[in-house]
């Protein structure tokens, strides 16, 4: 299985995860949300429901509307926790 974002490809071996699993995704930055959306799409292809996905990011930049992008793409129910949030003010 694979998914692509901005010319980059995420791949995962088919059957690696079972539908019953909960998954934690750790990312360094949440800005536009493009990379995270690609990862969430890949997990959905593997049969993992959004309710079983938790995301932890080190730094979030709300000015880039990453959370809105997640909602717009159907991932609004994914729990996202940010260690640092930079407001840009």
Alpha-carbon distance of 21 to 6, in angstroms, equals 28
Query: 11 exposed, middle or buried (CB, 10 Å; 0-12, 13-18, 19+)?
Result: exposed
Mean pLDDT in order along the chain per 10 residues (89 residues): 73 89 96 94 93 97 96 95 88
The answer to whether residue 55 is domain-embedded is yes
Asked whether the beta carbons of 42 and 16 are under 8 A apart, the reply is no
Q: CATH code at 64? A: 3.40.50.2020
The answer to whether residue 13 is domain-embedded is no
Alpha-carbon distance of 51 to 33, in angstroms, equals 18
Beta partners for residue 11, in sequence order: 2
pTM of the model as a whole: 0.86
| Residue 22: per-residue pLDDT | 95
Distance of CA 22 to the CA centre of its chain: 14
| Residue 57: per-residue pLDDT | 98
The answer to whether residue 68 is domain-embedded is yes
Total structural domains in the chain?
Answer: 1
| Residue 63: per-residue pLDDT | 95
| Residue 88: per-residue pLDDT | 67
Q: Determine how many CB atoms are found less than 10 A away from the CB of residue 83.
A: 9
């Amino acid at each position: 299985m694979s998914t692509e974002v901005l010319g980059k490809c995420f791949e995962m071996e088919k059957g690696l995860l079972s539908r019953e699993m909960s998954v934690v995704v750790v990312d360094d930055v949440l800005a536009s949300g493009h990379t995270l959306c690609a990862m969430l799409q890949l997990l959905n292809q593997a049969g993992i429901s959004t309710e079983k996905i938790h995301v932890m990011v080190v730094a979030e930049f709300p000015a880039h509307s990453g959370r809105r992008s997640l909602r717009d793409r159907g991932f609004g129910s994914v729990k996202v926790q940010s260690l640092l949030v930079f407001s840009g003010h």
